[in-house]
Amino acid sequence: MAERQERCDLCRWWLHTEGHALALGDCRRYPPVKTDIHDYGVWAETMDIDWCGEFRPRDPRGFPA
């Protein structure tokens, strides 16, 4: 099976979280959401190989948007 090309680490909305041993990052497609656990808004955290229907490729020059 071919590797999926519409994954988070290739998306313009995804920002890698520095300092994590795992390849984690934040999806910045939508604003942070306040949850019952946090008193402040948080971005959706995903792994680099995750994917969704909102994928947009990164700018070829390396800029996020």
Average pLDDT, the chain: 86
Examine the pLDDT at 62 and tell me if it is beyond 70: no
Mean pLDDT along residues 36-44: 89
pLDDT > 90: what percent of the chain?
Answer: 58
User: What's the DSSP call for residue 49?
Assistant: T
Per-residue model confidence (pLDDT) at position 63: 61
Per-residue model confidence (pLDDT) at position 55: 94
Domain boundaries, given as residue ranges, for the chain = 1-65
User: At a CB cut-off of 8 Å and minimum separation 6, what does 16 contact?
Assistant: 9, 23, 24, 25, 48
Cβ proximity of 14 and 57 under 8 Å = no
* 35 confidence band (pLDDT: 50, 70, 90): confident
18-24 long-range Cβ contacts below 8 angstroms, 24+ apart: 22/47, 23/47, 23/48, 23/49, 24/48
